Amino acid sequence: MINTYSSNLVAGPDVFERRKRDWRNSQVVYQVFVDRFAIGGDLASRSHLYSAPRRLRPWRAQPRRGTFDPGAGVWRQELDFWGGDLKGVASRLDYIARLGATVVYLNPIFEAFTNHKYDTVDYFAIDPQFGTEGDLAALCEAAHARGLKVVLDGVFNHTGRRCAWFEDASARPESPYRSYYRFDSQVSGGCVTWRNSTNLPELDLEHEAVREILFEGPDSVVRHHLRWIDGWRLDVASDIGPGILAELTAAAHEARLDSLVIGELWNYPGGWMPAVDAAMNLYLATILMDFARGEMSAGKAAALIAAMVADVGIEPLLKSWCVLSNHDRPRLASLFPRLADRVFLWSLMITLPGSPLVYYGEEIGLEGQGDPYQRGPMDWDRALGGKAEETRVLKELLQLRADHEALVVGDYVPMVADRLLAFSRRTHSARQTVIVAANAGDTEVREAVSPQMPWLVDSTPMRELRTGAVRKMECGFLRLAVPPRTVQIWAPEPEAGRGYRFLKRVP
């Protein structure tokens, strides 16, 4: 790979100060699947909300895959509930903050038939299983008091079949809601649905009335909830398309200038921004997974990441989420049973450009290979017991990121290497430079790498931030010995000269 970086391309100090002032550039996201996270309200008083065909499960029970229920139009596992609610989330905000998170992202919370709530019935009503609009407002107030932001899941491509619009449109051809959807006698079920899922009829997002309700109107869904929340994560953003996404994002920014609009994109992120502020960067996560498994070389991973940064741009990437696991992906402990392999991935997640996303329970090693197993109930005995090694390591890594400005808002500079994935993160100051070298192989790699940073002068001490090992810059190179399955993170120690100061007259 040819590195075309030039040291005089680094942005000036005003750029990094601006980035720091924008909360969207410094996120650590904690994702909550509300039904499975915590019970805060009186569950007995809500028991009637889980009547058949729904089923309320004991908290310690694990999800099981079920068969398709043609009468309900959903899979049986979609109707199993554990009773988590918004008060439960509010009761655990201190736990989330102590982990190092700065953003709470909630899977859908609006009224719906299923446990996952991606089949919206009413966009202006919190599902009574989860609470009320007052509970949402209280949650946001409590989060903000702790320095946490709140992002909601917006499902605007489709509703559920039990939405009043769809029920009326299905029952009456003359219904005013008929044109909200795409009815077609040639389509199975008579209406276009998201990926042919019976329960998810797609909205006609070109229809003016639909647009007015969802994002254009002064009290539209997008604008209304931004009274309390700080941003939207847009479900299946690629189905909404860049044109409508841009209009929706503009509406959100009109309601709240610093709001975050982030799109769920299971594809290459280039070209989608500024239609949205940022992306769920599943493309980057795929690169990291393949690299960690040994299915992609360090050189290929480095080239793909460098090309992505050059194409997408550092600004939207800083706001994008690196999603190693979530409600749609297997849990890391199931894919990578060895903690060392998960630490390898987490180490890259916290050093590459973007916002780390921690799916609830990853910090205690919850397992789950696929839907619905990765949506199991939170194990609070383990989470609060203080003995989970995953928690200790993840907290340390997130704190390391927070302590180094370059890892949060710095530019990304690829480094030439043969067998390592190597790069640096840097600001206008050489003192803040961080050098990262990852060895995904099974043997130690010894290699000299150059950050091509002219201000890291010869003999500048460099410290590995987790082990404390010290090496010195040698004529622009850092000579490394990286153990197998290890990510090393290096930063300069210019004051380590016993009176003599390195970097004293350089930027």
Active-site annotation, residues: 235, 264
According to DSSP, residue 212 is labeled I
Amino acid identity of residue 359, one-letter, is Y
Other C-beta atoms closer than 10 Å to the C-beta of 381 total 9
Contact 99, 30 (CB under 8 A): yes
Token pair of 286 as six digits: 């795929």
Other C-beta atoms closer than 10 Å to the C-beta of 476 total 14
Question: According to the 3-state scheme, what is the secondary structure of 251-283?
Answer: HHHHHCCCCEEEEEECCCCCCCCCCCCEEEEHH
Other C-beta atoms closer than 10 Å to the C-beta of 207 total 15
According to DSSP, residue 489 is labeled E
Contact 139, 92 (CB under 8 A): no
Separation of alpha carbons 426 and 478, rounded Å:
16
Handedness of CA 167, 172, 176, 181 (dihedral sign): positive
Burial (CB count <10 Å: 0-12, 13-18, 19+), residue 91: middle
Separation of alpha carbons 153 and 492, rounded Å:
41
Token pair of 341 as six digits: 């392999």
442-456 burial: b if 16+ Cβ within 10 Å, else e: eeebebebbbbbebb
Separation of alpha carbons 296 and 281, rounded Å:
18
Closest CA relative to residue 214, chosen from 255, 183, 259, 178 = 255
392 CB-near residues (< 8 Å, 6+ apart): none
